[in-house]
Amino acid sequence: MPRYLGDDFLLPQLTPNNTPWYTSGEIQVQFCDDCGHAQHPPDEICYACQGTNLSFKAVEGTGTVESFARVHHPLHPALKERVPYVIAIVSIDGAPGCNAQGNVVNCDPADVAIGQKVRAVFEEAVEPQTGTKLLIPQWEPAA
């Protein structure tokens, strides 16, 4: 999938905690190995028990739109040709309490609704300084 917001739009800065999210081509969520708590965004400690035994696990790659905004006015000149577009908060199936944000793509922005089922799709980009291939999660309506 090409870059939804264009090749000139900012790329995420990779860290040890977010690299699985942006490079695996799967929805990877951090889980506590001690208490089983799922958390996103990932952190150095478990939000539930403050444990430090954390690992990433792939989940289904589907979710539900909990909230969204239709953007009609470009917030940056690079987005002028992209409006309108939708930014959504998606609850991630298989990771209770975890929400992610992303664009809802491959549909008319007017058709996005709260409660809508979506699935992850991944836009490809290359981090220019390191050459790392990124697979950035976005969301599209589930069939």
What pLDDT band is residue 128 in, cutting at 50, 70 and 90? confident
- Judged against a pLDDT cut of 80, whether residue 97 lies above it is answered with yes
Enter the tokens of residue 17: 């905690």
In the prediction, which pLDDT does 5 show?
Answer: 65
> Among 5-14, 47-56, 129-138, whose mean pLDDT is lowest?
5-14
Mean pLDDT across 56-79? 94
Mean pLDDT across 34-63? 97
**Order of all β-strands in the sheet with 38-39:** 38-39, 28-32, 54-58
d(CA 27, CA 115): 19
In the prediction, which pLDDT does 81 show?
Answer: 85
Q: What percent of the chain has pLDDT over 90?
A: 81
What pLDDT band is residue 10 in, cutting at 50, 70 and 90? confident
- Domain limits, the chain: 24-141
- pTM value is 0.91
Q: What are phi and psi of 136, to 5 degrees?
A: -85, 120
- Judged against a pLDDT cut of 70, whether residue 2 lies above it is answered with no
d(CA 82, CA 29): 29
